[in-house]
Chains A and B, each alone.
Chain A
Amino acid sequence: MLDAPLTETDAQASLRRSEADNPSSLVMRFGTDAPLTLDAGPAIAPWQIAYQTYGELNADRSNAILICHALTGDQHVASTNPVTGKPGWWTLMVGPGRPIDTNRFFVICSNVLGGCLGTTGPASTNPDTGRPYGLDLPVVTIADMVRAQAMLVTGLGIDQLFAVVGGSMGGMQALQWAASYPERVFSVVAIATSYRHSSQNIAFHEVGRQAVMADPDWCGGRYLEEGRNPKKGLAVARMAAHITYMSDRSLHQKFGRNLQDRDALAFGFDADFQIESYLRHQGMTFVDRFDANSYLYVTRATDYFDLGADHGGVLANVFKGTKTRFCVLSFTSDWLYPTSESRAVVHALNAAGAPVSFVEIESDRGHDSFLLDIPEQFRIVRGFLTGAARARGIAGPAAEEAQ
């Protein structure tokens, strides 16, 4: 089934490989004098973090917003992705005049640790061997990702971020920032996320990882050296995951039982239904831009995420005494990270006395809603950041100040 169109262009493949070590974005490199300690135990050095920035840092360095990307996102939040040539993944949210207004804020977005677009990950060259890390890279966690980001932020000369904003796995990082560096985060926006991965979340990720590792082209994780790519496994992993990003209702509205390029059932195992064709397309385009081992690492990081675990399982203790302001958003049809999990975060924040805003937004479009054009979401994020910026004393953009 997945055979025919799996013709990754050589250009795109080599582009992706070169982005892993030498990203076309900005990159901050840390030598052996600045190792990154990992929850798994060992530290890595040298290591690097790839990032993009938008807008200008103000004189007192108070207007920086860090955007944390989701599972397979990247640092190109509002700029063209060098591998796919597609526009940034959150241009509805970030840009001049957008809710995260780059005329007002200095926006930083970095590729996560374990990613494949320029931050150290399994596709990066292991300095000890000169070969790609593969599975020799220690397993990374959300807290590790945040620790790496903190070193980047320090390197940029910023003591305190005005906001850390993220959806899904990005939201986990935002919450982790508030837990790890409460003094360094003035406000947090956590969208469509959770404080820990549920059993069901882990289950879906395990299906994806098993699909990757069952592909003979995975070669025990050494496919880059073998000149192979476990595309089929990774495509299946993406297909399974993609279902969890949408709601039953949105799938039904979009595809129903409609047939793909045919008038009748073909009585075979080709893609009869539009939904099958759609999922295959999602799988195939994904393998062109993403590294299979990276997929193992980032899914593992989210599975390991359990914010309350280090605090005796009491989430409120994580946020004890925090001065950070929080904005938590969930979507009615998100069954991957349902509203009940956002509510648990909100309850914990209330118990800790933290200032928190929380809205469940009506949307049929499932978990992916946070990436889509949902005006309510933009209105709330804009309002929250505007209020927080007022409290932080950040000057508005010229137009707003004139009002």
Chain B
Amino acid sequence: MTDLADLASDVRVDLRLIAGLIEPGSRVLDIGCGDGALLELLERTRGVDARGIEISQEGVNAAVSRGLSVIQGDADSDLVQYPDQSFDYVVLSHTIQATRNARRVLDEMLRIGRRVVVSLPNFGHLDVRFRLMFLGRMPVSKRLPYSWYDTPNIHFCTIRDFVELARDVGAKVDQAIVLDGTGKRLPFSLPWIVWNLLGAQAVFLLSREDR
């Protein structure tokens, strides 16, 4: 097993962050796993039993060709097939904004997994607010490269919005990590309002309160 710290920095910073949250040897389902980069990282550095769902054919083909257990499927419709608590972690990495019913997806994730990891781009970030306020345009940037009319991202939210959704579905935020635009971690002690303004992306570790 490769140590996480030894990894070259070409691995996306949010993926490395997520990997750091996952207990070695656990069972992980990555929803919207793309080409399987995170799953491969988790297999390599965490020795996990890794599974994935991906909607795009290119993504699934690439992941399966890498030897990963990935199926073509849709987060909005295909989570019902998984039994309760069948995974240690269910991961939704930069995908929640592309789901049709984000609340139901999160609810299903909390049913399937003992713990849930969600990473998301923060639509409350200063840069986004700036573009809207001063340019009057929907933001297009390196992290959010789509134009408003052809984006798969139909449900953007801010860090605060997500925290509220988590509370609504009865999830407890066990850990929250916020990164600024350069991928640096924002200090722990900052208040939510600052995270929501300076955070470009966030990673949450959730669990159901009643368990």
Chain B positions within 8 Å of A355 at CB level? 49, 51, 69
**CA of A355 to CA of B64, assembled, Å:** 12
Q: Does the CB pair B57–A362 fall under 8 Å? A: yes
**CA of A312 to CA of B83, assembled, Å:** 19
Contact of B72 among A347, A358, A379, A384 (CB under 8 A): A358
Most A CB atoms within 10 A — which of B70, B71, B78? B71
Binding site of A, secondary structure by majority: helix, strand, loop or mixed? Answer: helix
Q: Does the CB pair A353–B66 fall under 8 Å? A: no
Q: Mark A344-388 against chain B: 1 for CB-CB distance below 8 A, else 0.
A: 001100110101111111100000000000001001101110111
Most A CB atoms within 10 A — which of B65, B68, B86? B65
**CA of A353 to CA of B69, assembled, Å:** 11
Contact A353/B83 with A359-B57, A359-B72 known, Cβ cut-off 8 Å: yes
Q: Does B97 contact A (CB under 8 A)?
A: no
Q: Does the CB pair A383–B86 fall under 8 Å? A: no
**CA of A356 to CA of B50, assembled, Å:** 10
Chain B positions within 8 Å of A387 at CB level? 66-68
Q: Does B60 contact A (CB under 8 A)?
A: yes
Q: Does the CB pair A327–B64 fall under 8 Å? A: yes
Contact A383/B57 with A355-B51, A360-B72 known, Cβ cut-off 8 Å: no
Contact A357/B64 with A325-B69, A346-B71 known, Cβ cut-off 8 Å: yes
Q: Does the CB pair A380–B67 fall under 8 Å? A: no
Q: Which chain B residues numbered 52 to 107 have a C-beta less than 8 Å away from chain A?
A: 57, 60-61, 63-73, 78, 81-83, 86
Q: Does the CB pair A376–B61 fall under 8 Å? A: yes
- Quick one: closest B residue to A385, CB to CB? B67
Q: Mark B20-58 against chain A: 1 for CB-CB distance below 8 A, else 0.
A: 000000000000000000000000000001010000010
Chain B positions within 8 Å of A353 at CB level? 83, 86
Contact A359/B61 with A350-B71, A383-B67, A390-B67 known, Cβ cut-off 8 Å: yes
**CA of A353 to CA of B49, assembled, Å:** 11
Q: Does the CB pair B64–A380 fall under 8 Å? A: yes
**CA of A275 to CA of B68, assembled, Å:** 42
- Quick one: closest B residue to A330, CB to CB? B72
Q: How large is the interface on A (under 10, 10 to 19, 20 to 34, 35 or more residues)?
A: 20 to 34
Nearest CB of B to A333, in Å: 14
Nearest CB of A to B29, in Å: 9
Q: Does the CB pair A380–B72 fall under 8 Å? A: no
Q: Which chain A residues numbered 120 to 162 have a C-beta less than 8 Å away from chain B?
A: none
Chain A positions within 8 Å of B78 at CB level? 347
Q: Does the CB pair B65–A356 fall under 8 Å? A: no
Q: Does the CB pair A351–B83 fall under 8 Å? A: yes
Q: Does the CB pair B61–A380 fall under 8 Å? A: yes
**CA of A164 to CA of B67, assembled, Å:** 17
Q: Does the CB pair B64–A386 fall under 8 Å? A: no
Q: Does the CB pair B69–A357 fall under 8 Å? A: yes
- Quick one: closest A residue to B29, CB to CB? A350
- Quick one: closest B residue to A344, CB to CB? B81
Nearest CB of A to B18, in Å: 21
Contact of A383 among B49, B51, B66, B81 (CB under 8 A): B66
**CA of A379 to CA of B66, assembled, Å:** 10
Nearest CB of B to A361, in Å: 8
Nearest CB of B to A302, in Å: 25
Q: Does the CB pair B83–A379 fall under 8 Å? A: no
Q: Does the CB pair B61–A384 fall under 8 Å? A: no
**CA of A360 to CA of B72, assembled, Å:** 7
Nearest CB of A to B202, in Å: 29
**CA of A373 to CA of B196, assembled, Å:** 52
Q: Does the CB pair A359–B86 fall under 8 Å? A: no
Nearest CB of A to B205, in Å: 23
Q: Does the CB pair B81–A359 fall under 8 Å? A: no
Known: A347-B78, A383-B67. 20 other contacts (CB 8 A): A350-B82, A353-B83, A355-B69, A356-B69, A357-B63, A357-B69, A358-B72, A359-B64, A360-B72, A379-B65, A380-B64, A380-B65, A383-B64, A383-B65, A383-B66, A384-B67, A386-B67, A387-B68, A388-B67, A390-B67
The 4 A-B residue pairs with the shortest CB-CB distance, nearest first, are: A387-B67, A383-B65, A358-B71, A355-B69
Identify the A interface with B (CB < 8 A).
325, 327, 346-347, 350-351, 353, 355-362, 376, 379-380, 382-384, 386-388, 390
Query: What are 21 contact pairs spanning A and B, CB under 8 A?
Result: A347-B81, A351-B82, A351-B83, A353-B83, A355-B69, A356-B69, A357-B60, A357-B71, A358-B70, A358-B71, A359-B61, A359-B64, A359-B71, A361-B57, A379-B61, A380-B64, A383-B65, A384-B64, A386-B67, A387-B66, A387-B67
Identify the B interface with A (CB < 8 A).
49, 51, 57, 60-61, 63-73, 78, 81-83, 86
